[in-house]
Amino acid sequence: MRPAPAALLLSVLAAAAASPRAARAEVIERVVAVVNEEAIFLSDLRRRATPFLGQVMSQPTAEARMAALRQLYSELLDRLIDEELFQQAARRMQVRVTTSDVQRAVENVIRQNGLSEQEFWEAVEAQGYTEAQYRSDLRRQLLRLKVLNQRVRGRVNITESDVRRVYEQRVRQANRRLRFRTSQVFFPVPEGASATEIARTRDAAAAVASGLTADGFAQAMDTYGGGELGWLRQGDLPPEMEEVLLTLEPGQISAPVRSSNGFHIFLLHERERGGANIPPFDDVKEQLYQDMLTRAMERQEAAFLEELRRDAIVSRRL
């Protein structure tokens, strides 16, 4: 009789924490999904789950461990089904990944991380993977990329005009955001202050503000408290404070502004459009292009995968 899903998950969890002999005794191989007549086995799912079982076992209760394991196995089974769909598409398209392809990819990753080969494989092992598992995962990733490049890369055409259009849009957005360089004199209101105490603090702040000048602002900060706030962008301050700064001209001082913890008197030093520090197009166009290409390929991959799922016969048995 086929074990119930909960019993199956409990047996797998127990086996993962037990000795190799106990694991062989308790876990029974079976099919957990079928994709177009190709089976995915429990052993495939268990191998893929191994690096994550430490996180599952770290849950504080048996119920939490069970819930975490169910979620992990469900997500991993979805991934295995998608990978099988790509494997089948690769066979139809006669796309292959060779051992040399995998080795070159490994060498590239090692070089990019600035590690020796021994250090790299030690880091892989520390993540819960064997070298064979890592190479197998890398092979699957390379196969997926090859399939996508052959199947959908031709649908993605990003020109320099497209990149420039995105750049100019970002410049416009940045220019709509203002930057402020400001200082404040601050009169705090203690938590739980009474209405009388709040009114007294407000009146004190108003009296100071009425006689303040830009030249005397630094002295007022030393006397009453406050300081330089530096450059702020729109959105850095609560709306009620930002609205006050928008009404000031450089050199002007605000009336006291109430916040949740006191009263603020602002001196606006400078205000400018935020696009002043945007790098030139030629300096960022390659990175912009790569970002746009990545997003476009992700959209095409999602559409292609949806097409594969729609045309497949998939049976989940977990």
- Residue 34 is encoded by which pair of tokens? 């079928």
Is the pLDDT assigned to residue 46 strictly greater than 80? yes
Higher confidence at residue 298 or residue 179? 298
Tokens 């909960």 belong to residue: 6
| Cα distance between residue 275 and residue 295, in whole Å | 24
Is the pLDDT assigned to residue 18 strictly greater than 60? no
Domains of the chain, start order: 95-151 (no CATH), 173-277 (3.10.50.40)
Is the pLDDT assigned to residue 272 strictly greater than 80? no
Strands 257-259 and 262-273 turn out to be: antiparallel
What is the SS3 assignment for 186-210? EEECCCCCCHHHHHHHHHHHHHHHH
- Residue 270 is encoded by which pair of tokens? 């400078």
| Cα distance between residue 242 and residue 35, in whole Å | 57
**How confident is the model at residue 277, as a pLDDT?**
64
**Cα 215-219-224 angle, rounded to 5 deg:** 130
Q: 79-125, pLDDT tens digit by residue?
A: 999 999 999 999 999 999 999 999 999 999 999 999 999 999 999 99
Give which of 240, 234, 230, 229 is closest to 176, Cα–Cα.
Answer: 234
> 247: pLDDT confidence band, cut at 50, 70 and 90?
confident
What pTM does this model have?
Answer: 0.57
Among the residue ranges 172-186, 256-270, 290-304, the one predicted with the least confidence is 172-186
Higher confidence at residue 253 or residue 24? 253
| Cα distance between residue 249 and residue 269, in whole Å | 8
- Average pLDDT score over residue span 131-146: 92
Is the pLDDT assigned to residue 8 strictly greater than 70? no
Tokens 């991934």 belong to residue: 79
